[in-house]
Chains A and B, each alone.
Chain A
Amino acid sequence: MDDLRLIRGILHGRRDDFAALVERYQRAVYGFVVRQVGDGDAADEVTQIVFLRAYSALRTFRGDASFKSWLLQIAVNECRSWARRRRSLREVGIDDVAEPELPAVDVDAERDLDRRGLRHHVQRLPPRQRSVLSLRVFADLPFAEIARIEGITENAAKVNYHHAVKRLREWLE
């Protein structure tokens, strides 16, 4: 069943259609989100919020871009909100909120393309490069849609992606 048909079903309150849409896109959303927030539990929460926000805004989806691209735009916004909230919590001096573990990078111990090493290195990338890389690799979005989400040109999206991979390569060498 295509996305638009599922969306119509969801707007009529059909749970199974929502479940189908979640199943179709949760890997893309979670895969993107976890690289932005850096913590599995926080990523689960943000992913859940992304789908709730998508539901609450579903009537505004006009189909100008793909549903997946629209959903990932929400994910990008939620990750930015999450980062702002974390900064706010720090600024008001709350130090008893559970903080996600910051990536503890031991370059010497992680020279191979092993799973743990790569995951941690991605989190060291500058935000724009990390976002572009994640949208391409984990959400499998075309560069044209990544560019629209990030508000940059398609060429700039490819250059950011190239720079992200270049940095990862240098850190892994």
Chain B
Amino acid sequence: MTHSDRQRDCDQVAPLLVDLVEDRLDARQAERVRAHCAQCADCRAMAAALREIPAALRAEDDLAPEAWLRRRDAIVAAFEAMVTADRASRSGFDARLLLPVAAAVLIGLAGVISLRSDPLGSGHTRPARAAFVLALNEPQLVAELAEILGETDPWPAQAWQLDAAGDGVAGAWLTTHLDEPDWEIGAIDSE
């Protein structure tokens, strides 16, 4: 068997080797792959690697349960903000604003639910950074955010500091987009 013949065999066996390691082959297919491996040191080594490397990778994710609870709580807080914005959208405001508005709500909520005590390495709150990322999906809103923040660049890098600008800024921005100045976001901002 030439080198290229052997390589072609290895290429054909590759997906079957994955199935063999994960125990998804019938007896006939498994026998065929084992016969190839008996002749091929590289595929034998690959079979071992397909067992060991994924197992080692999974071991990386063994975080403490408290760490997952903190992550879950932050996501649920964002969900609550989204529900609040959703209710407002049903009461008549432009649905395209739902995500960025919800993101802005997060900024207001940050102070209320003490997420500010969970600063990221950069010194900014996670909701504020999430707000920035969400707002990036609406170029027009990004430009307006930039204006609020005193940025002339259409991509307001300093929007990372949205939280530092103060919740009242977010509230003022929102009221320019809403027909109802007493919308509940304002109440959250004022807390």
Footprint of B on A, CB under 8 Å?
A: 13, 15, 18-19, 22-23, 26-27, 30-31, 41, 44-49, 51-52, 55-56, 81-82, 85, 88-89, 92, 94, 96-98, 113, 115, 118-119, 122, 133, 136-138, 143, 155, 158-159, 161-163, 165-166, 168-169, 172
Contact = CB atoms under 8 A, between A and B. Distances in A.
Given A158-B19, A162-B17, 9 more contacts: A22-B76, A30-B71, A44-B126, A45-B133, A49-B130, A82-B133, A115-B60, A162-B14, A169-B46
B124 to A, nearest CB: 9
B46 A168 contact: no
Contacts of B136: 85
Nearest to B46: A166
Contact of B49 (A30, A88, A122, A165): A165
Residue of A18, A27, A96 with most chain B CB atoms under a 10 A cut-off = A18
A98 to B, nearest CB: 5
Given A89-B155, A162-B46, A166-B46, A47 B83 contact: no
A120 to B, nearest CB: 11
B162 interface: no
Residue of A81, A158, A163, A172 with most chain B CB atoms under a 10 A cut-off = A158
B50 interface: yes
Contacts of B19: 158
B69 to A, nearest CB: 8
Interface in B35-72: 45-46, 49-50, 52-54, 56-61, 68, 71-72
A165 B75 contact: no
B92 interface: no
Interface of B is mostly: helix
Given A122-B57, A155-B15, A165 B79 contact: no
Nearest to A23: B72
B49 A166 contact: yes
Interface of B: 14-15, 17-19, 45-46, 49-50, 52-54, 56-61, 68, 71-72, 74-76, 78-80, 82-83, 86, 98-99, 102, 120-122, 126, 129-130, 133-134, 136-137, 153-155, 157, 160
A158 B74 CA distance: 35
A155 to B, nearest CB: 5
Nearest to B95: A56
B118 to A, nearest CB: 10
Contacts of B134: 49, 52
Given A15-B80, A138-B61, A162-B18, A92 B155 contact: yes
Contacts of A119: 60
Nearest to A95: B157
